[in-house]
Structure 1
Amino acid sequence: MPLALLALAVGAFGIGTTEFVMMGLLPNVADDLDISIPVAGHLVSAYALGVVIGAPLLAAVTAKLPRRRVLIGLMVLFVVGNALSAAAPDYHLLMAARFLSGLPHGAFFGVGAVVATGLVAPERKARSVSLMFLGLTVANIVGVPVATAMGQQLGWRATFLAVSAIGLAAIAALALLVPADHAHGDAAGLRGELRALRSVPVWLALGTTVAGFGALFSAYSYITPMLTDTAGYAESSVTLLLALFGVGATAGNLLGGRLADRSLRGTLFGGLISLAVVLGFFPLLMTAAWSAALGVVLLGMAAFTTGSPLQLMVMEKAAAAPSLASSANQGAFNLANAGGAWIGGLALAAGFGTTSPAVTGAVLAVLGLAVAGLAYAVDLRRGPVRGAERLVASSTPEHREPARS
């Protein structure tokens, strides 16, 4: 595989770390800024809002620019946002800095996925996307626990300075390893990019992402009380168990990339079915410590098996605007995060039990499977689908590098 994928993975590692580390630092931030933990939790929402707004907007307005330059510019914005977070003197400025940090998130993964698929042969496109996402999943194993420990020992500001340093390393890697490309003179601009998103198949693919990953976050948002109140783990063990989730997510991401190169839609269907089954059995898995740990690993594996297929499917359905569609899919991931957590919370508030968000997640996974099935039916009516080979927009010779083993 091309070394340029390593540069993309470094950027993904930094983004994944800054996205999830705030959850572990909320008590520290709340104490330092003299606010409550629920109010500090709005900092998580501010980042997610930045992702949702920035993903399609930045991808669209940079559509005509060379993609390497766009990726570097997005990481510069990422570094600035995290540096401002470290220096923020009060809650309101920290909120603004977190929003700024989230703006480049979706566009980086969206444009990065287009670059990644353009670096390899058609039969390796899904694997190339999964290798970029590897940085995101490894962040949950290494980056988030280390950054959280650093914040607890040295102060939360030190964490964001360290994340800024990761961003600087990503900028250097992108400049050195990603091959130069040219401005896309045939790009249709903002209106043309947005016009490409009017397609029903594109919205069905985005809907599959929202429902499928909403299933994950319905359960994962409340995994701590499941592990402590139902499975009987001490709170001190939760960090290790969440690292196991990262291990499962990494394995699922790599497996999904490999399988999707053989059958894109088959991998998507299989992943959603597996996710529904795992979540359906979660109340049983949480009855013992060993099975709860296994359930956490299986949850990460089943959910992230669908990551690469979903990314490629959205790009395929909007071949005229792959960067924008791919970035919009990242916005859909974050909508799934917020929506899944909200729906899972409704089940808890209704008194259905600690593991009820997992059962709700299973229903969402089935809904995602139904949307994916509807998308398949639409494709059959429109004509045969060739799969990931239709991703032609990112395969031009000017920015392709020979694949390496």
Structure 2
Amino acid sequence: MPFAVYMLGLAVFAQATSEFMLSGLVPDIAADLGVSIPQAGFLTSAFAIGMVVGGPLLAMLTLRWPRRTALVAFLVAFAAAHVVGAVTDDYGVLLATRIVGALANAGFWAVAAGAAVSMVEPDKKARAMSVVMGGVTLACVAGVPGGAMLGQLWGWRSAFWAVAVLSVAGVAAVLASIPAGRPDAPSAGLRAELRSLVGAQLLTAYAMNALVQGATFCTFTYLAPLLTEVSGYGAGWVPAMLVLFGVGAFVGITVGGRIADARPYLILLTGMSALTLGWAVLALSAGAAVAVFVLVFVQGLLAFGIAPVLTSRTFYLADGAPTLAGGFTTAAFNVGNTAGPWFGGLAIDAGLGFRSPVWTSALMMLVALATLGLAVALRRREARSEPPVAAAV
């Protein structure tokens, strides 16, 4: 695996830490800026919305830029947004920095994904994506708890300063490892890439990505009240259980990236079926502390174990549009991150209890499995209508 791909993963670690760290900083931000808890919580939602919009938009705007130029520009903008966020006393300004940071993050993701898959052999796309996405899982394991610790020791602003420093380190890493020009042929242009993105199989790939991520973050977002109100864990256990989920995610994405390219549909069917069953078992056994401990690790492993397949499929299916494929994949991922917690919150607000987000995750996975069935049917139909050498990968 090229060294540059690991450096992209390092930059993603800094950005993912920022995306998720507010979960432990919301009360301090609300108290410091004199706003309500829901207002402070909206900073997370604003980031997710910016990611959904920013992926495709900034991928299109920077389509003809050299990749290193685009990656550095996005990282510099991301770092600058966090510097401004760290020094402001105005909620509106902080909200604006979260939107700007999300747009920069989305643009970076779109370009980085295309860059990573272009630097490896054609049959190693999923493995490359697992390395880049590994930055997200490392953020869950180390970045988010680290941000919370900084917030407790020196205030929430110190976590923003830390992300800015990490982003500057990411700039140095990109400059040192990514070639000045594009590592592949120049883009054929916006219209050509958009034509490559038209297809029912691509739509099913995006839908599966959104559904699986939505199911994952539906439960992950409300894991704390599930642990304390249903499973009997004390509040002190919550950070440890979040880290346990992150460890499972890191193991899953590492292993999944190594095997995903060979049999993608078999891995999707096996992994998604196990993930669906796991959410149902977690909902049923949420009152048993030992079972929950095991399942938190297992579900993190399964959810991120199939992530390399879900993300790399778009690059196989849209080989002529690597940049825009990365942008729309980023958008699909964050549609799930936004919709899943929203659905889980609706279930709780309906009086269904803290197990209800886990049941919601299982339901979303059933829809994802149905979408996989549609994708397999479309693949078989295309294989029958084309010469064998032209069949879909």
Tell which deviates more after alignment, 27-36 or 60-69: 60-69
What is the deviation of 1:278? 0.7
TM-score by length of 1: 0.91
**1:257–1:309: 8 Å Cα contact kept in structure 2?**
yes
1:339 aligns to what?
A: 339
- For the aligned residue pairs, the C-alpha RMSD in angstroms reads 2.1
Matches within 5 A, 1:180-329: 180-182=180-182, 186-329=186-329
**2:118–2:184: 8 Å Cα contact kept in structure 1?**
no
1:83-109, CA deviations, whole angstroms, 9 ceiling, x for partnerless residues?
A: 121122210010000000001223322
**Structure 1 residue ranges without an equivalent (≥5):** 392-405
**2:383–2:392: 8 Å Cα contact kept in structure 1?**
no
1:136 aligns to what?
A: 136
**1:106–1:328: 8 Å Cα contact kept in structure 2?**
no
1:211-264, CA deviations, whole angstroms, 9 ceiling, x for partnerless residues?
A: 111111221121111100111111121011100010011011112111202212
User: Aligned with 1:352: secondary structure?
Assistant: coil
Measure the CA separation in 2 of the matches of 1:36 and 1:96: 17
Measure the CA separation in 1 of the matches of 2:152 and 2:120: 42
Measure the CA separation in 2 of the matches of 1:342 and 1:146: 26
Measure the CA separation in 2 of the matches of 1:216 and 1:190: 33
1:351-397, CA deviations, whole angstroms, 9 ceiling, x for partnerless residues?
A: 2232121111111111111112211211221227999x989xxxxxx
1:315-349, CA deviations, whole angstroms, 9 ceiling, x for partnerless residues?
A: 22222212111221111111111211121222222
1:43-71, CA deviations, whole angstroms, 9 ceiling, x for partnerless residues?
A: 01111111111111111111122212221
**1:19–1:47: 8 Å Cα contact kept in structure 2?**
yes
1:272-298, CA deviations, whole angstroms, 9 ceiling, x for partnerless residues?
A: 112101101012332222221111111
Measure the CA separation in 2 of the matches of 1:390 and 1:132: 25
Change (3 A) 1:197 1:261: closer
- Runs of 4+ in structure 1 off by over 4 angstroms are 183-186, 384-387
User: Aligned with 1:281: secondary structure?
Assistant: helix
Matched, 1:125 2:125: yes
Size of the aligned set, in residue pairs, is 390
**1:64–1:184: 8 Å Cα contact kept in structure 2?**
no
Measure the CA separation in 2 of the matches of 1:205 and 1:21: 28
Matched, 1:57 2:60: no
1:120-178, CA deviations, whole angstroms, 9 ceiling, x for partnerless residues?
A: 22343211211111111011111111111101221111111110000000110111112
Measure the CA separation in 2 of the matches of 1:194 and 1:48: 24
**Structure 2 residue ranges without an equivalent (≥5):** none
**1:272–1:369: 8 Å Cα contact kept in structure 2?**
yes
Change (3 A) 1:80 1:190: farther
**2:382–2:392: 8 Å Cα contact kept in structure 1?**
no
TM-score by length of 2: 0.94
